[in-house]
């Protein structure tokens, strides 16, 4: 008989996904006993975030009036004590019926021009801020088209208008409405539009040069207690006994701490960080289908051998930034995010250290997840919004690095001053219970704990290559954007 070997790890600030390997169970006695095969997953079970906001009316540009309608808006829920609860449930409804419903709702709530699909919608950041300030001065709530940036769902370009003192972002856009899960999505693509609140949070974080992210951390003392429990109960056993032991281990690990860095913990931006981390875990352990055939659970890639902990986390991933010789236009490209992996070991005190090597199955799974992340984002609104907040944060860092705001004389005081633009906040995520799920899968027994997201936008813009456009296409696009008609000079968005 072999002893059951296990190690457990926690997840920290750079958002690590922890995984414990348990070697195979041998025969449990001399009697003829059929060897049971079991894989058991121990994971943080999060659910749907509820943004229970205070209605401050015009004091926060009226954003809360709209957001109060998005309780339990598909994702995770957080109660008044900050405990994350209730599982994800993605309702698979008829696509055509859903689209017709969204189109009808969008037609009722949006101006006709906003409700049109556009491959190249432009938004003046300077004029957008002025519009928000005007609504606040009138003590009026912001309309949906302002809260959701005229339906823009990806930032692909940034243009500098030095003549008219403006910064303009551009990308694809469409009409939008709340879906069956009460999540605001595009009527055709199903991707959530970019939120004004997230833009403001991104600018405020980069004004301070902060790294944004979230962390789920098992308490070291609980990990130490679990290691001691394993030491005392590491004799070979039946599958049923092993399952009972894992349930006990989940109870020993108990509540895991949730922390958010760089942004207000109750903001929508923070919610997306936490939600994406949760979805990463759910998909990785097979509790949530990826929705695409290229990505299966990490379980499918694992083989026996070794006693270690894996952590996985998201970081930004961009192709080279294309710019002009005058550096007055920038094109963002690439899939925006990648999954990173690293193996760790956990000692008897519950402390972690990096392993010298990371096994191939862990690296390959991270590479597969990265390779198909763009497709995952098309399938899961949570990952699409993670792309969006990454874009916004990198955009803010790029503007700071190139001093573009100073070049056009834009101080963005209204967006940067928290007392002027009060970002709507909900319940702050603080803890998540450790939960377990098990199933048969070969002779391997596994335990997963943790996950994460890290957005170091300043490092992205400092380390990503800037390439000058070899043809005139970017210059021509910039010229077409800056040559607005006289009737468009005061608009904050246009096609």
- Predicted confidence at residue 446, as pLDDT, reads 52
In this structure, the number of other CB atoms found within 10 A of the CB of residue 217 comes to 19
Contact 486, 492 (CB under 8 A): no
Which of 192, 214, 199, 201 has its CA nearest to residue 455?
214
DSSP designation for 150: G
Which of 304, 266, 294 has its CA nearest to residue 446?
304
Digit-by-digit pLDDT tens for the chain (495 residues) are 333 222 333 333 233 333 333 333 333 333 233 233 333 444 433 322 222 222 333 444 444 433 433 434 456 777 878 887 645 555 444 566 688 899 999 999 999 999 999 999 999 999 999 999 999 999 999 999 999 999 999 999 999 999 999 999 999 999 999 998 889 999 999 999 999 999 999 999 999 999 999 988 888 898 888 878 877 887 766 777 777 877 888 888 888 899 999 999 999 999 999 989 888 877 887 778 888 989 887 767 665 544 445 677 888 999 999 999 999 999 999 999 998 876 555 555 555 555 444 556 667 888 889 999 999 999 999 999 999 999 999 999 999 999 999 999 999 999 998 888 889 888 898 988 775 666 554 444 455 545 568 888 999 999 999 999 988 899 999 999 988 755 555 689 999
The pTM (predicted TM-score) of the whole model is: 0.81
Distances (CA, A) of 448 to 4, 45, 281: 16, 11, 8
Q: Look-up: residue for tokens 């930032």?
A: 155
Q: For 416-430, b where at least 16 C-beta lie within 10 A, e where not — what string?
A: beeebbbbbbbbbbb
Where in the chain are the domains?
Answer: 17-87+195-466
Distance CA 435, CA 449 (A): 9
Q: How far, rounded to the nearest angstrom, does the alpha carbon of residue 192 sit from its chain's CA centroid?
A: 13
Q: How far, rounded to the nearest angstrom, does the alpha carbon of residue 124 sit from its chain's CA centroid?
A: 26
3 state SS for 374-438: HHHHHHCHHHHHHHHHHHHHHHHHHHHHCCHHHHCCCCCHHHHCCCCCCCCCCCCCCEEEEEEEE
- Predicted confidence at residue 287, as pLDDT, reads 75
DSSP designation for 470: S
- Predicted confidence at residue 360, as pLDDT, reads 60
DSSP designation for 488: G
DSSP designation for 83: B
Distance CA 186, CA 178 (A): 9
Distances (CA, A) of 37 to 25, 228, 264, 299, 379: 8, 25, 45, 14, 33
Quick one: tokens of 387?
Answer: 């792309």
Maximum separation of any 2 CA atoms in the chain, in Å? 90
3 state SS for 305-368: CCCCEEEEEEEEECCCEEECCCCCEEECCCCEEEEEEEEEEECCCCCEEECCCCCHHHHHHHHH
Write out the DSSP string of 28-81.
-SSS--PPP--EEEEEE------------GGGGTTHHHHHGGGTT-SS-EE-TT
Distance CA 353, CA 360 (A): 19
> For the chain, what is the radius of gyration of the CA atoms?
24
In this structure, the number of other CB atoms found within 10 A of the CB of residue 243 comes to 17
- Predicted confidence at residue 224, as pLDDT, reads 86
Burial class (CB in 10 A: 0-12, 13-18, 19+), 465: exposed
Distance CA 136, CA 208 (A): 25
Distance in Å from the first CA to the final CA of the chain = 70
Give the angle 433-439-444 at the CA atoms, nearest 5°: 100
Question: What sign results for the dihedral spanned by CA atoms 221, 226, 227, 232?
Answer: positive
């Amino acid at each position: 008989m072999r002893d059951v070997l296990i190690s457990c790890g926690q997840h920290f600030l750079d958002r690590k996904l922890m995984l414990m390997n348990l070697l195979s169970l041998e025969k449990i006695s001399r009697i003829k006993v059929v060897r049971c095969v079991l894989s058991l997953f121990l994971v943080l079970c999060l659910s749907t975030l509820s943004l229970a906001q205070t209605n401050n009316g015009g004091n926060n540009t009226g954003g809360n009036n709209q957001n109060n309608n998005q309780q339990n808006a598909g994702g995770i829920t957080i109660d008044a004590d900050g405990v994350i609860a209730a599982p994800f449930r993605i309702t698979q409804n008829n696509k055509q019926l859903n689209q017709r419903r969204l189109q009808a709702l969008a037609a009722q709530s949006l101006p006709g021009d906003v409700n049109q699909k556009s491959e190249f919608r432009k938004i003046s950041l300077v004029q957008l801020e002025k519009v928000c300030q005007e609504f606040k001065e009138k003590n009026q709530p912001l309309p949906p088209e302002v809260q959701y940036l005229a339906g823009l769902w990806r930032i692909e370009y940034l243009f500098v208008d030095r003549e008219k003192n403006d910064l303009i972002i551009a990308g694809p856009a469409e009409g939008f409405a709340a879906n069956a899960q009460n999540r605001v999505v595009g009527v055709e693509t199903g991707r959530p539009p970019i939120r004004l609140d997230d833009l403001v949070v991104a600018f405020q974080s980069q004004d301070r040069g902060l790294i944004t992210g979230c962390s789920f951390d098992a308490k070291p003392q609980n990990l130490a207690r679990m290691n001691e429990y394993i030491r005392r109960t590491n004799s070979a056993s039946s599958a049923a006994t092993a399952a009972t032991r894992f349930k006990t281990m989940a109870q020993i690990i108990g509540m895991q701490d949730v922390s958010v860095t760089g942004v207000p913990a109750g903001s929508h931006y923070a919610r997306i960080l936490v939600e994406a981390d949760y979805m990463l875990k759910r998909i990785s352990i097979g509790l949530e289908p990826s929705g695409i055939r290229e990505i299966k659970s990490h379980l499918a890639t694992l083989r026996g051998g070794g006693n270690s902990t894996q952590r996985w986390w998201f970081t930004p991933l961009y192709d080279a930034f294309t710019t002009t010789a005058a550096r007055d236009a920038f094109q963002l490209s690439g899939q925006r995010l990648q999954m990173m992996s690293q193996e760790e070991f956990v000692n008897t005190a519950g402390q972690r250290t990096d392993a010298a090597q990371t096994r191939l199955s862990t690296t390959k799974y991270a590479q597969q997840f990265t390779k198909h992340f763009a497709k995952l984002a098309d399938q899961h609104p949570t990952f699409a919004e993670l792309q969006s907040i990454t874009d916004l944060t990198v955009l803010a860092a790029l503007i700071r690095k190139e001093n573009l705001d100073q070049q056009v004389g834009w101080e963005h005081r209204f967006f940067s001053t928290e007392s002027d633009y009060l970002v709507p906040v909900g319940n702050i995520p603080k803890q998540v219970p450790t939960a377990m799920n098990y199933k048969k899968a070969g002779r391997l027994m596994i335990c997963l704990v943790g996950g994460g997201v890290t957005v170091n936008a300043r490092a992205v813009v400092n380390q990503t290559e800037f390439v000058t456009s070899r043809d005139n296409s970017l210059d021509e696009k910039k010229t077409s954007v800056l040559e607005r008609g006289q009737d468009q000079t005061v608009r904050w968005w246009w096609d």
